[in-house]
Amino acid sequence: MQTLTRVRAIVNEQPVEFLCEPRQSLLECLRDILGLTGSKEGCNDGNCGACTVILDGRPVNSCLVLGVEAEGCRITTIEGIARGTELHPLQRAFLNQAALQCGFCTPGLIVAAKALLDEDPDPSEERIRAFLANNLCRCTGYDKVVRAVQDAAAAGREEVPA
């Protein structure tokens, strides 16, 4: 058994503290220690994006980050996207566009898309496709996913008071 390290971080606006092994990934810590199973493991080697979380403002594959590296970081997971009892515009848009079939890629896609919209509230189709190219979806062919992000971007722009 390896020695455990104490990690303190802010996850979905809440301070958390947990013990993990140095070899455990952030994804493993989120899922198995903190019980935040919304982030998914599709490959565990940085090639599917199902585990995407926002770490200090940037989208990362949490399977490629060690739990111990999260010390002092601010992390947003899919569980932290909704605004209280209201869905985030991206979540609403994914539902209205039927942009998910099995839904396994969806947490990663929504988190990645949020990182995109935080940075660029009016992305072109090309920009959306390039930004989401790290997130594999095998079910949808991406058409409705791209449209959902476009819709959410439009809704988000409307929300900002003129």
Partner 1 sequence: MSAHGYKVVGTRPVRPDGADKVTGRAAYGADVHLAGLLYGAVLRSPHAHARIRRIDTRGAEALEGVRAVITASDFPPADAGRIIDLGEGQQTVAEVRGNMLASGKALYKGHAVAAVAAVNRHVAEEALGLIEVDYEPLPAVLTALEAMREDAPILHETLTRKELGTDTGEVSNVAEHFRFELGDLEQGLAEADVVVEREFDTATVHQGYIEPQNATALWNQDGRIHVWSSTQGAFVVRDTVAAALNVPVSRVKATPMEIGGGFGGKIRVYLEPVAALLSRKSGRPVKIVMSRQEVFEGTGPTPGSHIRVKVGARRDGRISAAYAFLAYEAGAYPGSMADCGAMCIFSPYDIANLCVDGYNIVVNKPSTAAYRAPGATNAAFAGESVMDEVAERLGMDPIDFRLRNAAHEGTRRADGPKFRRIGCVEVLEAMKNHPHYSAPLEGPNRGRGVAVGFWFNVGLASACTIGVNADGTVNLVEGSTDIGGTRASIAMQAAEVLGLRAEDVHPVVVDTDSIAYTAVTGGSRTTFATGWAAYEAAHDVLRQMKERAARLLETEPECVEYQDGVFRSGESRMTFAEVAARLNETGGPVTGRAGVNPRGAGGSYAGAIADVEVDPETGRVSILRFTSVQDAGKAIHPAYVEGQMQGGSAQGIGWALNEEYCLSPGGAMQNSSFLDYRMPTSLDLPMIETVIVEVPNPGHPFGVRGVGEANIVPPPGAIANAIYRAAGVRLSRLPMKPETVMEAIWAQRD
* Residues binding partner 1 (CB under 8 A): 1, 21, 23-24, 31, 35-48, 50, 77-79, 81-82, 87, 91, 94-98, 100-107, 110, 125, 128-130, 132-146
CB atoms within 10 A of CB 85: 5
Least distance (Å) between residue 159 CB and ligand FES: 26
Q: What is the dihedral of CA 82, 44, 3, 59, to 10 degrees?
A: -40
**Helices then strands (H, E): number in the chain?**
5, 5
Give the per-residue contact string, 59-78, with ligand FES (x = CB under 6 A; - = no): --x-x---------------
For 80, the token pair is 């932290």
Q: Which stretch binds ligand FES (CB under 6 A): 47-55, 69-77, 82-90, 112-120?
A: 47-55
User: Residue 159's CB: how many other CB atoms inside 10 A?
Assistant: 9
Tokens of 69: 């590296």
Residue 109 beta carbon to partner 1: minimum distance, rounded to whole angstroms:
9
Site for ligand FES (CB under 6 A): which residue of 7, 115, 137, 146?
Answer: 137
